[in-house]
Structure 1
Amino acid sequence: MMKPTTLLGICLLLAACAQPQVSNEEIAAFAPVRTVLETNCVHCHGDNRLSTMPPINDTHALSKLIGSQWIVPGKPEASRFYQVVTFPDEIPGAMPPSGHAIPTHDVHILKQWIKDGAKVPAHNIKMEPRGPLPRSI
């Protein structure tokens, strides 16, 4: 018969192995994208979303868009997600709403992320809105 402490040790080891391992590099690489999304997108496309686009309030939800029409890895110009943030205000569907354009630097971060394969960390990261809610919402 196995000692209780040995059995406990085996259980703890198995539980630790079951957790997805995420490297610091993976989290650091996604950090700028997360900041852009939290600042410009999650207000409306998070838990209380206002549109037809699926929610992007965490990395699991975001990962569901990767490989679809929304985010085509390696092809920002073919990705609806990228297209709508580069539309001029007068084009229907431009995001964010009129008068709240995403800064050029942030658009470049999204473009490069998609170009590099649109990778998200293996474990789920919750995204929270940053800054004030856009006035037009």
Structure 2
Amino acid sequence: MKIHRILALACGFAAFTTLKAVGDTPVDFVKQIKPILADRCVECHNSETLLGELNLQSRALAFEKRKAGPVIHPKNADKSMLYLVLTLPPKDKKAMPATGHRIPKDEIQLIRQWINEGAQWPEGKDGAISAQHKKPGK
């Protein structure tokens, strides 16, 4: 019986340290966040369509003052609309993305971690996201 407790504790500790290690790795905007924004957000939130007064094509544009308030609160995902709208039930009229497939939970958690880490977003080419409009029928 004692050996089973020791094994259970060891397995639990190993699982905990593995999960903690994943969260300890800082999120890389260019490799992890930029592709999500490019694939799922910038199609509607760009300089041409500007839905919700939000342009996510660069850090400067994403952090511009909006009537509705800031969309990203660095170090506080729970106050950041960018994160919150991704977690709303699909039928909620404010849920994003408004059309198409939902963003997978692991990618939403990456966005949450990135915001809580301070929402680092490089300037220049690394931080720029181009709007890739889909052609009708595609």
What TM-score, normalized by structure 2, do the two folds share? 0.64
CA separation of 1:71/1:133 partners in 2, compared to 1, >3 Å: closer, same or farther?
A: farther
Identical counterparts, % of pairs: 26
How far is 1:84 from its partner?
0.5
Corresponding residue for residue 43 of structure 1: 43
Q: Tell me, yes or no, if the aligned pair for 2:63 and 2:72 is still in contact at 8 Å.
A: no
CA distance in 2, matches of 1:106, 1:98: 17
How far is 1:50 from its partner?
4.9
* 1:29 aligned onto 2:28: yes
Which 5+ residue runs of structure 1 have no aligned equivalent? 1-27
CA distance in 2, matches of 1:134, 1:110: 29
Counterpart among 119, 126, 129 of residue 127 in structure 1: 129
CA distance in 2, matches of 1:43, 1:59: 16
Tell me the number of residue pairs that the alignment of Structure 1 and Structure 2 aligns: 106
CA distance in 2, matches of 1:73, 1:89: 25
CA separation of 1:128/1:118 partners in 2, compared to 1, >3 Å: closer, same or farther?
A: same
Q: Tell me, yes or no, if the aligned pair for 1:71 and 1:81 is still in contact at 8 Å.
A: yes
Which 5+ residue runs of structure 2 have no aligned equivalent? 1-26
CA separation of 1:123/1:92 partners in 2, compared to 1, >3 Å: closer, same or farther?
A: same
What TM-score, normalized by structure 1, do the two folds share? 0.65
